[in-house]
Amino acid sequence: MGPDRGTVYGARRRDWLILSAAGFLALAVLIGAVLGTPAAVQIARVKGRLRAFNLGMIAVPLFLPPLVLGLAIIVGLNALGIQRGLWTIIAGHIILTLPVVTLLVLVRLEGLDRNQETAAMDLGARPWRAFLTVSVPQALPGILAGVMIAFAISMDEFILTFLVTGSQNTLPLYIFGSLRIRVTPELNAISALMLGASFALLTIGALIAIGRERLRGRAGVVWKIPLAGETLP
């Protein structure tokens, strides 16, 4: 006797929710990285009150509880007459993850010498090309760390997703709805996988952000070229 149609449909629906959840979270984090990297560059290049203002504005979502952030998004959508749906979920997660990516990239950019980008432009490179070929490769560890940590945070966020979703059923909502009926081995397996993936992403992101700085410091000592009359330590 073959498997029940309801069981097969439920398994396919669960698999589709897992893939779709990973897809829209990856899209949200990718957009956050594309927007957060130029924002970090702009903040790194300004000083004074404008820098403090930009940092304060970009960090606001980090200090707001997800409930308050979700309600603020709902009020804004209703004022604009926009119906909630998949794109509002993506927009909400972009707002949630953008500060994480921006601040981690900013930490990386603080130690870079802007004269390298200026030298590239003096040699004939356009500003955008100098930025992509000089600054972005050096800031890449911060970008990767920000993407991984932002994806882990976004994957574990339920309250914001619950508030800004429309008629679409996402993986967190599927788990929440299933828990109201009963706890099944499938839910335990999905929860364990999500917990393990979050821990792995956070660990890898932290290792990239911290380990690259240590490696760079060691390389700076090993490959330092002595000037005239100077001796290596």
- Ordered by where they begin, the domains of the chain are 14-213 (1.10.3720.10)
What band does 118 get if pLDDT is binned at 50, 70 and 90? Answer: confident
pLDDT one-digit tens code per residue, 142-186: 888 888 888 888 877 888 888 888 766 677 777 777 777 777 777
Mean pLDDT is highest, among 2-6, 64-68, 137-141, for: 64-68
List C-alpha distances in Å: 113 to 10, 46, 118, 227: 55, 14, 9, 20
Higher pLDDT, 18 or 36: 36
Residue among 46, 66, 50, 157 at smallest CA distance from 110: 46
Residue among 198, 196, 176, 200 at smallest CA distance from 187: 176
Average pLDDT in the chain: 76
What band does 226 get if pLDDT is binned at 50, 70 and 90? Answer: very low
SS3 of residue 154 by DSSP: helix
The pLDDT score that the predictor gives to residue 21 is 66
DSSP 224: P
| Mean pLDDT (whole number) for 68-78 | 88
Higher pLDDT, 155 or 79: 79
Q: Is the pTM of this model over 0.85?
A: no
Higher pLDDT, 166 or 119: 119
| Mean pLDDT (whole number) for 34-62 | 86
Q: Please report, as a single letter, which amino acid is at residue 86.
A: L
The pLDDT score that the predictor gives to residue 86 is 79
Higher pLDDT, 109 or 34: 34
pLDDT one-digit tens code per residue, 130-145: 878 887 887 888 888 8
- On whether the CB atoms of residues 169 and 15 are closer than 8 A, the answer is no
Residue whose entry in the numeric block shows the structure tokens 């409930």: 67
- On whether the CB atoms of residues 37 and 143 are closer than 8 A, the answer is yes
* Portion of the chain with pLDDT greater than 70, in percent: 78
List C-alpha distances in Å: 136 to 31, 34, 99: 16, 11, 18
Instruction: Inform me whether the pLDDT recorded for 224 exceeds 50.
Output: no
Record the tokens describing residue 218, joined without a space: 């060691």
Higher pLDDT, 189 or 220: 189
Higher pLDDT, 138 or 21: 138
Instruction: Inform me whether the pLDDT recorded for 206 exceeds 80.
Output: no
The pLDDT score that the predictor gives to residue 112 is 72
Q: Please report, as a single letter, which amino acid is at residue 72.
A: A
Residue among 65, 90, 86, 88 at smallest CA distance from 78: 88
194-202 long-range contacts (CB < 8 A, ≥24 apart) are: 194/155, 194/156, 197/152, 197/155, 198/152, 198/155, 198/156, 199/152, 201/148, 201/149, 201/151, 201/152, 201/155, 202/148, 202/149, 202/152
The pLDDT score that the predictor gives to residue 229 is 46
Burial class (CB in 10 A: 0-12, 13-18, 19+), 51: middle
Higher pLDDT, 165 or 222: 165
